[in-house]
């Protein structure tokens, strides 16, 4: 497959210090460190409430499945991932930027419908206290339409959405990270047991069988 020669890549920024005063930038591999200004150590990292939300599984009502090459895949939709990011990080607590995209395929079928596919890379910046955490994700999108303009627009949007979900998934199960684990069992799908007293009365307490990979 030949890649489109007109691939678009945003100029890579220098991320040692951004324009916000007293805000450090941390990449995926970096260790978050607090900034010191005038002898005062600023708060860093996510709050306890944010951490609790990040480790929770995605809402089962918004987990969908589809068949692909004989396998059943689970996924969340793009709008849900963005909504959860707003709820956990805050509307002004994170940013999304498409730093690269390229068309990798375009063809016209016999019925004159145009089909094309794009690859995209998205960078997510999350402000956690005095630290900015940077994550990236790469996604794929394809679409067919009666015109080349419509097909390209839809395919690029799909690629951006896929890349956004992959980048956000690195923050935890709330963004679908656990969906990539074949052995993971969502809490609301684990077997439950009811305790009974000697006289047969239900005690009203339910036990959830722990999964070996749960935490």
Query: Across the strands, what pairs with 122?
Result: 98, 137
Q: What is the pLDDT of residue 114?
A: 94
pLDDT mean across residues, the chain: 76
pTM of the shown model: 0.64
Mean pLDDT of all residues in 114-137: 95
**Residue 112 contacts residue 95 (beta carbons within 8 Å):** no
Among 168, 114, 160, 170, CA closest to 140: 160
pLDDT at 34 over 60: no
pLDDT at 209 over 50: no
pLDDT at 168 over 70: yes
Q: What is the pLDDT of residue 7?
A: 58
pLDDT at 193 over 60: no
Give the pLDDT band (50/70/90) at residue 45: confident
Mean pLDDT of all residues in 105-125: 93
Residue 35 and residue 21: Cα distance in Å, rounded?
11
pLDDT at 72 over 60: yes
Q: What is the pLDDT of residue 60?
A: 87
| DSSP type of residue 206 | E
Write down the CATH number for the domain with range 8-208. 3.30.390.80
Residue 88 and residue 48: Cα distance in Å, rounded?
11
Phi, psi of 119 (to 5 degrees): -110, 140
**Higher pLDDT pick, 111 / 41:** 111
Spans of all domains in the chain: 8-208
Residue 97 and residue 124: Cα distance in Å, rounded?
7
Most confident of 17-26, 168-177, 200-209: 168-177
**Higher pLDDT pick, 17 / 183:** 183
- CB under 8 Å to 74, separation ≥6 — which residues? 63, 64, 65, 176, 179
* Pairing assessment for the beta strands 40-41 and 36-37 based on DSSP bridges: antiparallel
Helix H or strand E encompassing 82: helix 78-89
Residue-level length of the chain: 215
pLDDT at 54 over 60: yes
Residue 158 and residue 161: Cα distance in Å, rounded?
5
Q: What is the pLDDT of residue 75?
A: 86
Residue 88 and residue 82: Cα distance in Å, rounded?
10
């Amino acid at each position: 497959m030949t890649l489109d020669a007109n691939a678009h890549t945003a100029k890579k920024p220098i991320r040692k210090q951004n324009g916000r005063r007293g805000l450090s930038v941390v990449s995926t591999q970096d260790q978050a460190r607090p900034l010191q200004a005038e002898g005062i150590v600023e708060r860093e990292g996510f709050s306890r409430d944010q951490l609790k939300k990040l480790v929770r599984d995605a809402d089962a009502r918004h987990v969908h499945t589809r068949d692909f090459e004989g396998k059943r895949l689970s996924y969340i939709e793009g709008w849900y991932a963005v909504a959860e990011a707003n709820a956990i990080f805050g509307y002004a607590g994170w940013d999304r930027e498409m730093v690269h995209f390229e068309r990798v395929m375009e063809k016209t079928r016999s019925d004159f419908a145009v089909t094309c596919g794009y690859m995209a890379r998205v960078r997510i910046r999350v402000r956690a206290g005095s630290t900015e955490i940077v994550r990236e994700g790469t996604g794929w999108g394809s679409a067919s339409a009666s015109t080349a303009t419509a097909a390209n627009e839809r395919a690029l949007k799909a690629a951006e959405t896929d890349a956004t979900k992959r980048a956000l998934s690195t923050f935890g199960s709330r963004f679908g990270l656990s969906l990539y684990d074949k052995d993971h069992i969502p809490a609301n799908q684990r077997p439950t047991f009811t305790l009974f007293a000697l006289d047969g009365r239900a005690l009203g307490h339910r036990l959830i069988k722990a999964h070996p990979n749960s935490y």
